[in-house]
């Protein structure tokens, strides 16, 4: 059974995200793969959100929390001279 074009279009975003994560991991490293996956989370949540729209704000808050933790770890590294 071959998928319809609408199904291929609907699942194009996760497939594209996976391809970008694999390419980033191959060329740059695992940190870039993790960054691509975290930043792609709101896009995927926006695409596949339920009718109430509950998952997109949660995905954005998760990305903000991860960004704050990364900034704090960077500041700790600067303060301790690494």
Q: Full-prediction pTM beyond 0.75?
A: no
Say yes or no to pLDDT of 3 above 90: no
Among candidate residues 64, 23, 12, the one with its CA nearest the CA of residue 42: 64
With beta carbons less than 8 A apart as the criterion, state whether 43 and 12 touch. Answer: no
Tell me the pLDDT band of 82, cut-offs 50, 70 and 90. Answer: low
Among candidate residues 32, 8, 7, 9, the one with its CA nearest the CA of residue 22: 32
């Amino acid at each position: 059974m071959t998928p319809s074009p609408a199904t291929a279009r609907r699942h194009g975003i996760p497939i594209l995200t996976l391809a970008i994560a694999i390419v980033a991991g191959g060329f740059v490293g695992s940190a870039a793969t993790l960054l691509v996956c975290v930043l792609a989370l709101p896009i995927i949540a926006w695409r596949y959100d339920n009718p109430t729209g509950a998952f997109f704000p949660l995905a954005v808050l998760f990305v903000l929390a991860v960004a704050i933790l990364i900034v704090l770890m960077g500041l700790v590294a600067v303060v301790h001279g690494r």
